[in-house]
Amino acid sequence: MARISMKSLLVAVFSVFTLLNSQVALANEGGEHAAEQKAELDPGKEILHHIMDSHEFHFATVGHTHVTIPLPIILYSPEKGLSVFSSSKFEHGHATYEGYKMEHDHIFAVKEDGTVDESVKVYDFSMTKNVVQMILALVVLVLIMTSVAKKYKKNGASKAPSGLQNAIEPVITFVRDDVAKPNLGHKAGKYLPYLLTVFFFILINNIFGLIPGAANVTGNIAFTMVLALISLLVILFSTNGHFWGHIFWPPGVPFLVKLILIPVELMGVFIKPAALMIRLFANMTAGHIVILSFVSLIFIFGQMSTVAGWGFSPISVAFSVFIYLIEVLVAFIQAFIFTNLTAVFIGQAFEGGHTEEHGGHHDDGFVAGV
């Protein structure tokens, strides 16, 4: 109970911290005229700005001072060559540097008068906060797994797990017994390393995304698309003749129906990983949007009346804390769903061959594909 209370307190502090800093930021963006600031407030724009990728980690705005961690800008232009510098040189989009300017996190070449130079082609290889956070998540994943592996190598089965090993082992056992074996049968061990990597990599990124100021990596469609493409390749390399036979010539179906089923089944091969991509992206983005929407309601009410804005603040923070706690649960659920569905689709890819190999019965009572 004490641990739950502490989590709730931390979330409340984060919410109030975000609220106050957002209020300060909004109060300074419109200049000196409060009435003009309120008219310019666009909650939708603010929400999208917070969930999109950026060239810096932004934590707070105090007066005209931005508390940020600038990230490296890496640009290549055939006309100008390679340029490497800090994103702070752009002064949050208010300055040009080495003939480049950044607006809404898009970098382009400019002329001396500040207009866009269409003749200069720019290739942006910058380290955005999504990229940096993915690398950090990968480092954390490697450190956790190598630490656990060293303990297993040192102690074996002779000593009970402790510390980090004790926390990770139940999760590994869960993925093995409740995800891999039921869907992959006797081939579970072959695919378990991949399934564990996917599960922990998504989970770590989901949890990092809940830290105020951090990037919502799993809420980026490009990130989920790459994961889905990797799963598609694993699925395709796991297929057999029986699978493709059912795709291109479904047995026991009238000829005219086959003409309809064949393109549908073929599209299904690509729709399945696409569903993985959209499901993870939509769920992780939705939670952040809901939290930011509750915070934005304070400023919407504040446009009507200052008293209404401050009066609604406790309600907004309470709902934000509630959704935040749900998001912690969603972080685990979405990692499980992506991993489990990947295992299901892989199992379906070799299901027929596995069934025939064992005379219509599955190993250890596990179903090869659901």
Assigned domain for 158 exists: yes
| Per-residue pLDDT tens over the stretch 189-237 | 999 999 999 999 999 999 998 888 888 899 889 999 999 999 999 999 9
Domain that holds residue 83: 72-126
Same domain, 262 and 307: yes
Assigned domain for 5 exists: no
Supply the pLDDT for residue 281: 92
Count up the domains in the chain and report the number.
2
Assigned domain for 142 exists: yes
Residue 138 and residue 116: Cα distance in Å, rounded? 37
pLDDT, the chain, mean: 79
The pTM score is: 0.79
Same domain, 254 and 356: yes
Residues 80-109 have a mean pLDDT of 85
Asked if the model's pLDDT at residue 31 lies above 70, the reply is: no
Same domain, 343 and 199: yes
Assigned domain for 51 exists: no
Same domain, 358 and 302: yes
Same domain, 103 and 213: no
Same domain, 91 and 223: no
Same domain, 221 and 322: yes
Alpha helix positions (H), the chain: 2-29, 34-40, 43-51, 129-155, 164-175, 181-184, 188-208, 221-237, 241-248, 255-304, 306-349, 351-357
Same domain, 156 and 100: no
Q: Pick the last residue of a domain from 109, 126, 143.
A: 126
Supply the pLDDT for residue 139: 94
Same domain, 80 and 166: no
What per-residue string of b and e applies to 201-217 under the rule 16 or more CB within 10 Å gives b?
bbbbbbbbbbeebbbbb
Assigned domain for 116 exists: yes
Same domain, 87 and 135: no
| Per-residue pLDDT tens over the stretch 299-342 | 788 878 788 778 888 888 888 888 888 999 999 999 999 999 99
Question: Phi and psi for 85 in degrees, rounded to 5?
Answer: -160, 175
Assigned domain for 17 exists: no
Same domain, 247 and 135: yes
Same domain, 100 and 136: no
Assigned domain for 55 exists: no
Assigned domain for 295 exists: yes
Residues 238-251 have a mean pLDDT of 84
Q: How much of the chain exceeds pLDDT 90, in percent?
A: 28
